Amino acid sequence: MGQFLNVALLVLRKDVAIEVKSREILYTTLFFAVSCVLVFAFALVKEGRVVEDASAGILWIAVAFAGTLALGRTFERERYGETLRALLLAPAPRAAIYVGKLLGIVLLLAVAEVALVPLVALLFGAAFFARPLLLAGLLASGTIGFAAVGTLFAAMLVRSRSRDVMLPILLYPITVPVIIAGVRGTVAIAQAAPDEAVAAMWIGLLAAFDVVFVTLALWTFEPLMTE
Amino acid sequence: MTKRYFVPLLVVTAAMFAYAPILIANAPYESTMGLVQKIFYFHVPSWFAMFTAVFICGIQSAIYLFRGRAASDRVAAAAGELAVVFGLLGLVTGPLWGRKSWGVWWQWDARLTIALLLELTFIAYLLVRKYGGPGSEKLAAAVGIFGMANVPFLYMSVNIWRTIHPPTSVVPTLPAGMPGPFWFSVAAFMLLLTILMTLRVRLEQQRAALDELYLALEE
């Protein structure tokens, strides 16, 4: 167990070190998320006011789209340097490599969300911060769920020629429960009278999703990455 | 073994499909929906067949992934395709009924949305198989497993999100005269699924055998 965690943290440290040096994925992902928010603003703002509940949807779609981009880029980097093979050849449990990559993506998206949530709240006058703890719970459990499925698929797609189109095609139908739970939970928090029970219920569903899909990914990562 | 049972199975299924319209026509009319309710005899069975195919695909994908059994991959491929076919059947018959009884072609109702999402998942499965390039079988297997594991989550999330579809409790509380034709149709659809699966798996088997022969020839 100690070695497992060590390997996972080493992979995470490697990714963070590369990212801190170049900041490429963070900047591009964040800029992409902001452009998404603007595109949706033009679609959903009517006479200067945003359609009811749309701000929660805009936030989550921006997170999902930006997340897809970040997933693609992280593994593209590994492919470019031919380093994924080196990682897989390392005498370390494969699942630990998955966990390290997953933590890296979650961390990256968390940083992006720190900027994105206040921006969406400000632009659309949404009361996201009425229940900050519940919001943090929703974002954390939702991001982990999305990244858990995404990291596995992105890792598998490294070898595929059509990886750019395949990732969103595979990822979105399967992560729909995350989007629904995230959006409905955020709406419950941001409405005039925040409904804590509903938000907590969605967090529960997201937590169950996380447990099931992280377990499945840990379980399938080894045979999937074996050539 | 499959060869011996295939022809009798085909005959029985053909006979059942030939007789089903008569049985459905003679079934009593539903009091409020009238004639449109008859769609239920092939709409619901096609969903039964789809869900069966989804679970076959998921389980066989897992067997392929962990045991490396090529035969399981072929069964999963066939099941994935049939899940899309039967799903499409449900997605076509559903709106036909919806237009008559809700007045609109499509509603963002829980069960419709779940069906559409599952259909999308398995279309994605087929796309990966076709365009994923070398090694896409494993990728597809992961999609099959994740697609199956996602069913309860889709079910819960979408159900809480919205519901106007007649509840699943419709089936156990059918009025007299309806369960007979209904279960007959379900059985016919399940047999059809079995037959199509057998044919499709056989095709894949022969394809694999042909590939092996080519390889042997080259050596």
The owner of tokens 């949530």 is A117
User: Chain B contact for A84, CB < 8 A?
Assistant: no
Contact (CB<8Å) A152/B142: yes
> Does ipTM surpass 0.90 in this model?
no
Tokens of A127: 């009361």
User: Chain A contact for B148, CB < 8 A?
Assistant: no
pTM of the model: 0.84
Residues from chain A that touch B66, judged by Cβ atoms under 8 A, are: 223
- CB A223 within 8 Å of CB B66: yes
Domain that holds residue A139: 2-225
The owner of tokens 């005498």 is A91
Q: Which tens digits make up the pLDDT trace of A75-129?
A: 888 888 888 888 888 888 889 999 999 999 999 999 999 999 999 998 888 888 8
Q: Which tens digits make up the pLDDT trace of B158-185?
A: 777 765 455 555 565 666 667 778 888 8
Interface test with chain B among A166, A171, A187, by most B beta carbons within 10 Å? A166
Q: For residues A25 and A13, what is the distance between their CA atoms, to the nearest angstrom? A: 15
pLDDT averaged over chain A?
Answer: 89
Question: Considering its fold, how many domains does chain A have in total?
Answer: 1
Q: How many CB atoms lie within 10 A of CB B62?
A: 22
Q: For residues B64 and B70, what is the distance between their CA atoms, to the nearest angstrom? A: 6
List helix spans (H) across B1-39: 2-26
Tokens of A207: 């937590």
Residues from chain B that touch A149, judged by Cβ atoms under 8 A, are: 146
Per the DSSP assignment, residues forming a β-bridge with B30 are B34
- CB B157 within 8 Å of CB A177: yes
DSSP-assigned letter for residue B102: T
Q: Which tens digits make up the pLDDT trace of B37-61?
A: 778 888 888 888 999 999 999 999 9
Q: For residues B158 and B163, what is the distance between their CA atoms, to the nearest angstrom? A: 8
List helix spans (H) across chain B: 2-26, 40-67, 70-101, 110-131, 136-161, 179-218
User: Chain A contact for B159, CB < 8 A?
Assistant: no
**CA-based nearest distance A156→chain B, Å:** 7
Of A160, A172, A176, the CB nearest to B139: A160
